Amino acid sequence: MGEPLNIGIIGCGAIVAQYLQTLPSLPAVRLHAVADLDFSRAQAVAAGQDGVKALSVDELLADPAVDTVLNLTIPAAHAEVALRAIAAGKHIYGEKPLAATTAEARTVLERAAAAGVRVGCAPDTVLGTGIQTARHAIDAGVIGRPIAATATMVTPGHERWHPNPDFYYVPGGGPLLDMGPYYVTALVTLLGPVTSVIGAASHLRTQRIIGAGPRAGEAIPVAVDTHVTGVLVHESGALSTLVMSFDAVQTRAANIEVHGERASMSVPDPNWFDGEVSVSRLDDRDRGWEVLPDSAGYIGAGRGYGLADMAMTAPGEQHRANGELAFHVLDVMESLLVSAQSGASVPVGSTAARPAGVPLTSLAEEPAGARPAN
Ligand SMILES: NC(=O)c1ccc[n+]([C@@H]2O[C@H](COP(=O)([O-])OP(=O)(O)OC[C@H]3O[C@@H](n4cnc5c(N)ncnc54)[C@H](O)[C@@H]3O)[C@@H](O)[C@H]2O)c1
Of the candidates 137, 166, 103, 108, the one whose C-alpha atom is nearest the C-alpha of residue 266 is 137
Q: Nearest-CA neighbor of 53 among 43, 40, 39, 41?
A: 43
The four Cα atoms 332, 334, 336, 340 give a dihedral, to 10 degrees, of: -170
Residue 355 DSSP SS3: coil
- The length of the chain is 374
Q: Are residues 148 and 184 in the same domain?
A: yes
Q: Which residues of the chain have pLDDT under 70?
A: 1-2, 366-374
Whether 371 is in a domain gets the answer no
CA atoms of 311 and 84, how far apart (whole Å): 20
141 and 278 co-located in one domain: yes
Report the alpha-carbon distance of residue 92 to residue 109 in Å, rounded.
10
| CB of 318 closer than 6 angstroms to any ligand 1 atom | no
* CB-ligand 1 contact for 76 (6 Å cutoff): no
| 203 within domain boundaries | yes
Residues 256-275 as b/e (b if ≥16 CB within 10 A, e otherwise) read bbbbbeebbbbbbbbeebbb
Query: What is the residue range of 313's domain?
Result: 5-124+302-323+350-365
Q: Is residue 336 part of a domain?
A: no
Distance 11 CA to ligand 1 centre (A): 6
Total number of domains constituting the chain: 2
Indicate the pTM of the whole model.
0.96
- Residues 273 and 166 occupy one common structural domain: yes
**Do 256 and 148 have their domain in common?**
yes
Same-domain check for residues 106 and 179: no
| Closest atom, ligand 1, to C-alpha of 163 | 20
Site to probe by mutation for ligand 1, drawn from 40, 61, 73 as the one with most ligand atoms within 8 Å of Cβ, is 73
Q: Tell me, what CATH number does 357's domain have? A: 3.40.50.720
Q: Are residues 49 and 139 in the same domain?
A: no
Same domain? For 239 and 265 the reply is: yes
pLDDT number for residue 3: 84
Looking from the CA of residue 11, the nearest atom of ligand 1 is 24
The per-residue pLDDT for 371 is 32
Ligand 1 center to 75 CA (angstroms): 7
Is the Cβ atom of 74 under 6 angstroms away from ligand 1?
Answer: yes
On whether both 159 and 200 belong to a single domain, the answer is yes
Question: Does any domain span residue 18?
Answer: yes
- Do both 138 and 36 map to the same domain? no
In a domain, 262, yes or no: yes
Distance of CA 173 to the CA centre of its chain: 13
Co-location of 312 and 282 in the same domain: no
In this prediction, residue 246 carries a pLDDT of: 98
Looking at the structure, do residues 156 and 216 belong to the same domain, yes or no?
yes
CA 322/CA 7 separation, integer angstroms: 17
All residues at 6 or more sequence positions from 338 whose CB lies less than 8 Å from its CB, including other chains: 199, 346
Q: How remote is the C-alpha of 315 from its chain's centroid? A: 23
CATH number at residue 234: 3.30.360.10
As beta bridge partners, residue 256 has 151, 267
HSE of 86, CA atoms in CB hemisphere, 13 A: 23
Residue to probe by mutation, ligand 1, list 10, 12, 15, most atoms within 8 Å of CB: 15
pLDDT of the residue at 374: 29
Alpha-carbon span 221 to 350, nearest angstrom: 32
Structural domain contains residue 344:
no
How confident is the model over 263-307, as pLDDT tens digits? 999 999 999 999 999 999 999 999 999 999 999 999 999 999 999
Phi/psi for 345 (5° steps) reads -65, 140
pLDDT tens profile 25-65? 999 999 999 999 999 999 999 999 999 999 999 999 999 99
| 132 and 120 both lie in a single domain | no
pLDDT of residue 1: 55
Q: Which of 273, 292, 311 is the last residue of a domain?
A: 292
